[in-house]
Structure 1
Amino acid sequence: MRKRYGCPGSVHAPVTAALPPQPLPKSNASADLLAMLLVVKFIDGLPLARFEYVLGRHGVTVPRQTLARWVIGAAGVLQPLLNLMRDALLEGAFLHVDETVVQVLKELGKAPTSNSYMWVQTGGPPGRPVVVFDYDASCGGQVPVRLLHDYRGYVMTDGYSGYNELMRTDGIEQLVCWAHVRRRFVDAVKVQPKGKRGLADEAVAMIGKLYGVERDHKDADEATRLLARQTHGVPTLAALRTWLDKTLPGVTPKSALGTALSYLRDCWPRLTRYTERGDLPIDNNRAENTIRPFVVGRKAWLFSDTVAGANASAVIYSVLETAKANGVEPYTWLRRVLRDLPSATTVEDVEALLPWNVKDLHTPDLTSDLPN
């Protein structure tokens, strides 16, 4: 809305108020429309083609190619915000890393049917959780090195060898996920004779005791949790290691149980490191839960057309998932960001829009009015 003033005596020409800074200048996309577009695609998993049909039903014709340009343009607007989020991510004492495949049709030097990768890192200081997605055509070891070359602390991963190069960096300590170990033994249980208890069941039971310690002290302070780990977790780990050394030589290496045992043996020092402190995680479930919205959305929109689109997706997933992690309602927050960010002139202006600095946009409790 731009006010226009005219001279009653027609002495002066009409004067129109200046247009406020827009997220996408010379575009028909307002901040509010862009916020809705990004949320329905990246939170609700609605492909751009379907959003085009939704607009068409209301008499608004916007080709999906235009919608795609708006998404890429909006990602550029949000980049300064993501830069500050990434700085906060690296301030945490530990972080989680994971990756998943994504198909990009127009990736230079790669077939349209080949896999590229979306990497996710999550962590941040207490009270300021951060989620950062990064697109890369490769899943090689150079990618985590590039993403985390400035980080020093504990890094939780699965047992993928692509992280080995990163772990050679001074100041980085690797933690390996116990949930991945447990899944391998659960798979071994499934191939046992039905109704019979075997060696894999024993491993699952001992790993369950480790998780029992974590469950019982989930809400405890770090000192209390560390004491519980040292008192109960470390003896369980010692018993599990004794069982592993006794069991491994008598199991066929290529069997389901054999591969599970070998994985446990190879990762052992990195699996037990979480007991050194009370704040370290036991598994990588936080990263897996964080990457799940991307995986669910991928089932709907299937692929990215261009590298620019994949990079834009990484930016937008990052800021929206970080907002969710901080308990902020994504659409309301993003609408404010896209209204205010174009006029931000200082770092302080951008910092004021970070989710943990916005106090009045928390997600409502939708279950509060439900009957008991």
Structure 2
Amino acid sequence: MCGSNSPGSPEKPPFFLYEYPGTRGTDAPREFLKGYKGTLVTDGYQVYHTLEKERSADLKVAGCWSHARRRFAEIVKASGKNSPSTPGQKIAAEAVKRIAAIYHVDHMYEKSSDEERLDHRKNSVNPLVDAYFECVKKYAGKTGLDKSSKLAGALNYSIHQEQFLRVFLEDPEIPLDNNDAERSVRSFCVGKHSWHIIDSKNGAAASAALYSIAETAKANNLKPYEYFSYLLEQLMHYPRNNVPENKLAELMPWSEALPDRCRKLKTR
């Protein structure tokens, strides 16, 4: 299952969209993203970069800082609590610390206007990003570094992804990572062994559609069960695949026309 999400804004409510690709090749994401114009926040999977080259006029790829951090964090975690850190672990710890600083400073203006956030990223976050890449390039070029080590892999990942990891600096709406999308598929991945009855392409496609609705409902502060119940109550009055556009608009998870029973209570 592949998925995408929009983090949302007052003008663009959040949504999650999943699809069963059937393959990890270029054809599946090419079809999935057909008609989409904007920015993808992804890991370093080469297929996305291939699509960007094919559609450079309307598709851009932004790198995920969480994926860059994860490689260093795994190296740090490998050392025991009471064991002295190796030189490689110290380098990894420094990289993790620098990425944490980038997140911290960027989040200071998370609730600000787009103009303020973009200005903040250019003046306050960009220098930290410059320093980070200067640091990883320095360590990657050190004599004696085992080119096959996890540390070399972590350093080279950031270096090869630099142009994509810098994209967020140009657009205030681009998040630092795609963690929202990863969190949204976690429950599916954890529970996948519990529903082996989904053993066909049609079943997988139906499951992806239902997950899209459920996760989008949750992202818009709805109760999934109540929302599904309300959808079924309303859609039963129309022929299949022939629901009026204005009615569909009223049924969207972000619609103001939804009844209160579908909404989660706001907590103070």
- Out of 224-233 and 142-151, give the one that drifted further: 224-233
The within-5 A match list for 1:75-154 is: 118-123=1-6, 126-127=9-10, 128-154=13-39
Structure 2 residue runs of 5 or longer lacking an equivalent are none
Once the two structures are aligned, what percentage of the paired residues are identical? Answer: 31
1:195 to 75, 84, 100: 84
Q: Does 1:177 align with 2:71?
A: no
Q: How many angstroms apart in 2 are the aligned matches of 1:267 and 1:324?
A: 32
2:102 to 207, 210, 223: 210
User: Which one of the candidate residues 248, 252, 255 is aligned to 1:354?
Assistant: 252
**Alpha-carbon offset, residue 119 of structure 1:** 0.6
**Do the aligned partners of residues 265 and 187 (structure 1) sit closer, same or farther apart at CA in structure 2, a change above 3 Å counting?**
same
Instruction: Provide the secondary structure at the position in 1 that maps to 2:24.
Output: coil
Aligned counterpart for 1:340 among listed residues 225, 234, 237: 234
Query: 1:364: Cα distance to partner?
Result: 2.9
How many Å separate the matches in 2 of 1:209 and 1:184?
Answer: 17
Counterparts of 1:1-372 in structure 2, within 5 Å, are 118-123=1-6, 126-127=9-10, 128-168=13-53, 169-170=55-56, 171-191=58-78, 194-196=83-85, 198-250=90-142, 251-302=145-196, 304-344=198-238, 345-357=243-255, 358=258, 360=260, 361-364=262-265
RMSD: 1.9
Superposed displacement of residue 288, structure 1: 0.6
Alpha-carbon distance in structure 2 between the residues aligned to 1:195 and 1:212 = 28
C-alpha change, 1:217 and 1:148, in structure 2 (3 Å) is: same
SS at match of 1:297: helix
Q: Is the 8 A contact 1:192 1:198 kept in 2?
A: no
Deviation at 1:220, TM superposition (A): 2.2
- By percentage of residues, which structure has more strand? 1
**Cα deviations by residue, 1:19-76 (Å, 9 ceiling, x for unpaired):** xxxxxxxxxxxxxxxxxxxxxxxxxxxxxxxxxxxxxxxxxxxxxxxxxxxxxxxxxx
For each residue in 1:299-349, what CA deviation from the matched residue of structure 2 results, as whole angstroms up to 9, or x when unmatched? Answer: 432562222111110111111111111111111111111111132341112
Cα distance between partner residues in 2 of 1:192 and 1:257: 13
Tell me how many residue pairs correspond in the alignment.
Answer: 250
**Stretches (4+) displaced over 4 A:** none
Q: Which has the larger radius of gyration?
A: 1
**CA distances 1:105-164 after superposition (whole Å, capped 9, x unpaired):** xxxxxxxxxxxxx01111175242111110021011211111112111111111112222
Contact 1:134 1:311 in 2 (8 A): yes
Cα distance in structure 1, aligned partners of 2:251 and 2:163: 41
Structure 1: state its 5+ residue gaps: 1-117
Task: After superposing the two structures, state which structure 1 stretch, 214-223 or 270-279, moved more.
Answer: 214-223
* 3-state SS of paired residue (1:305): coil
Query: What one-letter code is carried by the residue in structure 2 that aligns with 1:256?
Result: K
Q: Classify the secondary structure of the residue corresponding to 1:355.
A: coil
CA positional deviation for 1:191: 4.1
For the residue of structure 2 that corresponds to 1:173, the secondary structure is: strand
1:211-236 alpha-carbon deviations (Å, 9 max, x no partner) = 11133222222222222211221111
Q: What's the offset of the Cα at 1:359?
A: 5.2
Cα contact 2:16–2:213 (8 A) shared by 1:
yes
- Give the TM-score, by structure 2 length: 0.87
> 1:187/1:124 Cα in 2 relative to 1: closer, same or farther (>3 Å)?
closer
